[in-house]
Amino acid sequence: MSEVVDARGLSCPQPVLDTLAKITAMGSGELEVLVDTEASKENVARAAQGKGWKVESITEEGGEFRLKLLGD
């Protein structure tokens, strides 16, 4: 079961802050991040990659994005 950050509805830079806080706390593993704007999707993906995590997949359902991030 992967960890989840629900950043839907939060404005910039909160989704990135929440994601990075979780990445730091986890160290490695699988993390899902939920966002609801293109900007948040891009910012979270960029920030995760900046920390050496991989964006495994991005899926869209009902105007919301689910980013699956992997860190090892």
Partner 1 sequence: MTNFFASRKGIVSVGLVIGGLAALLQYLGNPGNMGICVACFERDIAGAVGLHRAGVVQYMRPEIIGFVLGSLAAALMGRDFRPRAGSAPIVRFVLGVFAMIGALVFLGCPWRAILRLAGGDLNALYGIAGLIVGIGIGTLFFRQGYNLGRAQKTYSSVGLIMPLIMAGFLALLFIYPQVADAAKSGVLFYSLKGPGAMHAPLFISLGVGLLVGIIAQRSRFCTMGAFRDLILFKQVHLLSGVIALLAAAFAVNLIFGQFHMGFEGQPVAHTQSLWNFMGMVLAGLCFALAGGCPGRQLFMAGEGDGDAAVFVLGMIVGAGFSHNFGLASSPKGVGPHGIAAVFIGLAICLFIGFTMRKKAA
Distance CA 3, CA 63 (A): 21
Return the CA Rg of the chain: 11
Nearer to partner 1, 46 or 54 (CB): 46
> According to the binding rule CB under 8 A, does residue 4 interact with partner 1?
no
Question: How much helix, strand and coil, in percent to the nearest 5, is found in the chain?
Answer: 35, 40, 25
| Binding map of partner 1 across residues 16-55, x = CB under 8 A, - = no contact | xx--x---------------xxxx--xx--xx--x-----
Binding residues for partner 1 (CB under 8 A): 8-14, 16-17, 20, 36-39, 42-43, 46-47, 50, 63
